């Protein structure tokens, strides 16, 4: 086996990401729930793509610690859905297990996979066997066995991959719902594909090396950014910021040099990484000085403060005009109609997403940062987005908390529990209590043969009715299934029903459906709105 270098490891990561992207539909099809949101493969693929992008941004000569940080940061920021978040934690654990490792040997493989197992299980409050967690656990056990047997690196890696696939094959024996539907766990299979592609590339196996991606890193970028610290009377026009990477630069000498080039100078950090800021008329000479003193530079930002002054003033005036809040709210929702309803109820930022389009940790973090508030509540409105929302809260500089709504109607109810004068924790508790009794019904078409909650058969194309996550009704008519679902959800005992029409459901069809519901339930107050959500012609709630 040829020597394993940093370059070959980075290339193997890129190959693994590309391989999973090409096979994501294969993974998606394994999802058990027969609705059009089988996106485990897509979520895992997007997570890996962000890792590749983040690593590619590193400057030439980056240290192992910097590479590990780029991998873990990229994975977390790109994580989408539960599968993506768990994958990000597996990658984080692998990186932590390789800290201090000089050579990839069987001991390092054991350490990395054992750490990945530990971190992945810590990320899930109630681990379930027969899932991706089982596969990483079995892969770690395989590495431990390889270490005891003193296998070569090549044999150890191939054994881990073989045992990962065996673990995937066994998932139906551990999780009955998989066995009932004749599939293996999608997340576990996606992980096995990643391990397989990574190892095959690393060992130079035929069929993967031809897909290798070269890691040619870009030169430091120059960007124009908004400024907020310029005095129009200043003699210096260019705000210059950049990172310095050096083990030998004389900090005292550098700090003495910067004031000679301008004002507002600042150099912070320690060997080998520093942040430099200065207002100067010759940013080229500032950068040149560090390059002449055994330093590398990256993340270069140069702003012409004069040209941006007018924009700055307008921005400040707009920010002052905007109402600043103690607690703001972010919600995820599919469909323009649902977004408008949430905004009318007081949600500050609505992130487009839901089934088949789970926003990433980075998307939710960006939304939280947009809110003009000291603290932020995030309502994910989908069970597959809760973990990404929690991850965003963990890395947010603002205090954030998740109100774990799983449907858009639940978030409507939750907003009635919001009190702008209450604390973050008080609001989270009150909002959770406000939506606790909200029952949600969803009607869509099955995309595969399956069974409902009672074991009745479902055929591809059937209309299915889902009550709070459980498939309760099956039929050929959408309207009939809505009525059947209302009966299952005990609409007789409810006071109100809110109907949200999907993007492909016409106003005429909606009007006829509401009339039929009102005729069946004379005491039920029915409200209808254009939700415009895709894939689900009707979503409704009863309270």
Is 203 in the same domain as 161? yes
Of 402, 419, 435, at which residue does a domain stop? 435
Residue 207 has pLDDT above 60, yes or no: no
Instruction: Examine residue 288 and state whether it is found in any structural domain, yes or no.
Output: yes
Is 73 in the same domain as 207? yes
Residue 412 has pLDDT above 90, yes or no: yes
Query: What integer is the mean pLDDT of 313-323?
Result: 58
The reported pLDDT for the residue numbered 301 is: 80
Instruction: Examine residue 114 and state whether it is found in any structural domain, yes or no.
Output: yes
Q: How confident is the model at residue 314 (pLDDT cuts 50, 70, 90)?
A: low
Is 421 in the same domain as 446? no
Instruction: Examine residue 455 and state whether it is found in any structural domain, yes or no.
Output: yes
Q: How confident is the model at residue 123 (pLDDT cuts 50, 70, 90)?
A: confident
Q: Residue 476, SS3?
A: coil
Task: Classify residue 372 by its DSSP letter.
Answer: S
Question: N- to C-terminal Cα distance for the chain?
Answer: 65
Instruction: Examine residue 133 and state whether it is found in any structural domain, yes or no.
Output: yes
Cis previous bond, 444, omega within 30: no
Q: How confident is the model at residue 223 (pLDDT cuts 50, 70, 90)?
A: very low
Q: Residue 415 is part of which domain span? A: 323-435
| Burial class of residue 193, CB neighbours in 10 A (0-12, 13-18, 19+) | buried
Of 435, 455, 486, at which residue does a domain stop? 435
Strands 463-467 and 470-475, sheet pairing: antiparallel
The reported pLDDT for the residue numbered 83 is: 82
Is 407 in the same domain as 366? yes
Is 350 in the same domain as 381? yes
Is 89 in the same domain as 192? yes
Instruction: Quickly count: other Cβ atoms within 10 Å of residue 366's Cβ.
Output: 16
The reported pLDDT for the residue numbered 320 is: 52
Q: Residue 350, SS3?
A: strand
Is 196 in the same domain as 159? yes
The reported pLDDT for the residue numbered 519 is: 95
Contact 529, 500 (CB under 8 A): yes
Closest CA to 539 of 382, 408, 354, 357: 408
Instruction: Examine residue 228 and state whether it is found in any structural domain, yes or no.
Output: no
The reported pLDDT for the residue numbered 216 is: 27
CATH code of residue 475: 3.30.1180
Of 4-18, 463-477, 488-502, least confident by mean pLDDT is 4-18
Each residue's pLDDT tens digit, 336-394: 999 999 999 999 999 998 877 899 999 999 999 999 999 999 999 999 999 999 999 99
CATH code of residue 69: 1.25.40.340
Q: How many domains does the chain have?
A: 4
Instruction: Quickly count: other Cβ atoms within 10 Å of residue 367's Cβ.
Output: 21
The reported pLDDT for the residue numbered 221 is: 30
The reported pLDDT for the residue numbered 261 is: 94
CATH code of residue 253: 3.30.70
Instruction: Examine residue 318 and state whether it is found in any structural domain, yes or no.
Output: no
Q: What is the pTM of this model?
A: 0.69
The reported pLDDT for the residue numbered 351 is: 96
The reported pLDDT for the residue numbered 162 is: 93
More confident residue, 270 or 385: 385
CATH code of residue 431: 3.40.50.510
Is 400 in the same domain as 474? no
Strands 238-245 and 273-280, sheet pairing: antiparallel
Is 93 in the same domain as 197? yes
Query: What integer is the mean pLDDT of 475-497?
Result: 95
Is 56 in the same domain as 115? yes
Of 435, 450, 481, at which residue does a domain stop? 435
Instruction: Examine residue 122 and state whether it is found in any structural domain, yes or no.
Output: yes
Query: What integer is the mean pLDDT of 140-144?
Result: 97
Instruction: Examine residue 51 and state whether it is found in any structural domain, yes or no.
Output: yes
Residue 232 has pLDDT above 90, yes or no: no
More confident residue, 317 or 119: 119
Is 293 in the same domain as 336? no
Query: What integer is the mean pLDDT of 403-407?
Result: 96
Is 374 in the same domain as 391? yes
């Amino acid at each position: 086996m040829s020597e394993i270098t940093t370059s070959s490891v980075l290339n193997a990561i890129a190959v693994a990401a590309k391989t999973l992207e090409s096979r994501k539909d294969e993974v998606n099809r394994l999802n058990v729930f027969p609705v059009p949101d089988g996106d485990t493969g897509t979520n895992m693929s997007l997570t890996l793509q962000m890792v590749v992008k983040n690593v590619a941004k590193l400057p030439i000569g980056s240290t192992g610690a910097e590479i590990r940080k780029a991998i873990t940061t990229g994975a977390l920021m790109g994580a989408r859905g539960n599968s993506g978040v768990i994958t990000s934690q597996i990658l984080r654990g692998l990186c932590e297990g390789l800290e201090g490792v000089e050579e990839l040997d069987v001991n390092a493989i054991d350490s990395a996979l054992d750490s990945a197992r530990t971190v992945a299980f810590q990320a899930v409050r109630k681990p379930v066997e027969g899932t991706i967690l089982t596969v990483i656990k079995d892969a770690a056990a395989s590495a431990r066995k390889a270490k005891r047997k003193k296998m070569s690196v090549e044999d150890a890696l191939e054994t881990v991959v073989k045992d990962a696939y065996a673990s995937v094959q066994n998932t139906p024996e551990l999780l009955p719902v998989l066995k009932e539907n004749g599939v293996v766990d999608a997340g576990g299979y996606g992980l096995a594909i990643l391990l397989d592609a990574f190892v095959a590339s690393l060992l130079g196996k035929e069929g993967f090396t031809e897909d290798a991606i070269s890691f040619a890193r870009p030169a430091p970028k120059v960007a124009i950014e908004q400024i907020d610290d310029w005095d129009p009377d200043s003699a210096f026009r260019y705000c210059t910021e950049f990172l310095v990477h050096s083990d030998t630069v004389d900090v005292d000498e550098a700090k003495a040099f910067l004031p000679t080039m301008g004002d507002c100078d600042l150099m912070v950090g320690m060997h080998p990484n520093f942040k430099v800021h200065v207002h100067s008329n010759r940013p080229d000479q500032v950068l040149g000085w560090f390059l002449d003193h055994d330093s590398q530079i990256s993340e270069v930002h140069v702003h012409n403060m004069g040209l941006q002054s007018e924009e700055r003033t307008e921005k400040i005036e707009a920010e002052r005009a905007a109402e600043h809040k103690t607690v703001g709210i972010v919600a995820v929702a599919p469909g323009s109609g649902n977004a408008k309803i949430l905004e009318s109820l007081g949600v500050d930022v609505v992130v487009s997403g839901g089934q088949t389009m789970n926003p990433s940790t980075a998307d939710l973090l960006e939304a939280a940062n947009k809110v003009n508030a000291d603290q932020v509540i995030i309502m994910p409105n989908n069970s597959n987005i809760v973990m990404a929302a929690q991850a965003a809260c963990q890395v947010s500089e603002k205090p954030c908390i998740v109100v774990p709504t799983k449907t858009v109607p639940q978030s409507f109810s939750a907003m009635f529990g919001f009190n702008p004068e209450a604390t973050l924790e008080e609001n989270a508790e009150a909002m959770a209590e406000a939506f606790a009794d909200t029952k949600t019904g969803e009607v869509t078409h099955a995309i595969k043969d399956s069974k409902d909650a009672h074991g009745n058969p479902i055929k591809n194309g059937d209309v299915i009715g889902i009550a709070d996550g459980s498939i309760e009704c099956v039929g050929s008519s959408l309207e009939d299934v809505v009525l059947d679902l209302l009966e299952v959800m005990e609409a007789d005992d409810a006071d109100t029903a809110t109907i949200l029409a999907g993007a492909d459901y016409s106003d005429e069809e909606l009007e006829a459906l509401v009339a039929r519901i009102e005729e069946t339930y004379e005491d039920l107050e029915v409200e209808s709105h254009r939700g415009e959500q895709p894939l689900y012609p009707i979503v409704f709630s009863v309270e």
